[in-house]
Amino acid sequence: MADEISKWMKRIDFIVVALSLIIVVWLVGYGAPLVIAPQDDLETTSTAVLFEFSNADKILLDDNLEFSSPEEIYAKDNLVINLKPGVYYWKVVGFEESEIRELTIKSEVGLKLQESDDGKYEVVNAGNVGLDVEIFNKGTFVGKTVLEPEESSLEKGDKFVGGENE
């Protein structure tokens, strides 16, 4: 009889402990930040990056894995952050910290020419880095213009060559 009671007690012990463990695991999962985007090791030339997550209210962003000088961005769920080209490590922080993900914004030199009616060209920096645009006319170098991303200027020439500035 004593053995039966003991067995019965052990069964209840087991149920209580198992139930507790299940609830703890569920609570930890419930409290853990959920990181959706951008995916790990993403490489893109787009400087506007959508960060999607839940159960967190802060994004930590740094250029090293040690997060020695992180940029702290307070946000709720989703946020688009404009970043310069480079390699970034990021995580979100809520009740606890998420995994660390890597993100690479690749530099892009983009040059767009649009003919205007006065024989000039609208030179547009269509990339994500600052540009030095060399202007040539009939094979001769005639000048240079510096353009920030999305900036444009009206120039006269027949050859335009753009490269990243310092």
Partner 1 sequence: MNKREKLFGRMKGLLFILLILSGTVLLAGRIDALGITPARASVDFVSGVEKMIGFNVINTDGKDMNLVVYASGELNKSIFIFENMISMGADEETKQISYNIKMPADLSPGMHSADIVVLEVPKEGGGIGAVVGVIAQLNVYVPYPGKYAEAEMHISGAEQEGIVQFVIPVVSRGDVDLVSVHANVDIYNSIGEKVDSFNTLEVSASKEKRGEIVHNWKADVPAGVYSAKATVIYDGETLKLEKSFNVGEMILDLQQIEVRDFKLGEIAKFEMLVENKWGEEIKGVYTLMNVFNKEGEVMAEFKSPTENIPGFEKKVLVSYWDTGGVKKGTYDSSVYLIYGQKSAQKDLQLKVSDDMIEIVGFGYVISSKKLFGDRDLLIKVLVIGIVVLAVMNIAWFVFLRKRLFRGKELKRGRIAN
Residues at the interface with partner 1 (CB under 8 A): 1-2, 5, 9, 12-13, 16, 19-20, 23-24, 27, 30-31, 45, 55, 57, 64, 68-69, 74, 76, 85, 94-95, 106-117, 121, 126-127, 129, 157-164
Side-chain half-sphere exposure of 76, counting CA atoms within 13 A? 0
Which CB sits closer to partner 1, 23 or 48? 23
For residues 58 and 97, what is the distance between their CA atoms, to the nearest angstrom?
A: 10
Which CB sits closer to partner 1, 97 or 159? 159
Which residues make Cβ contacts (< 8 Å) with residue 51, sequence separation at least 6? 37, 38, 59, 75, 78, 79, 80, 81, 90, 92
Which tokens sit at 114? 């649009």
Which CB sits closer to partner 1, 30 or 99? 30
Minimum gap (Å) between residue 94 Cβ and partner 1: 6
Minimum gap (Å) between residue 50 Cβ and partner 1: 19
| DSSP string of 134-145, one letter each residue | EEEETTEEEEEE
Minimum gap (Å) between residue 78 Cβ and partner 1: 13
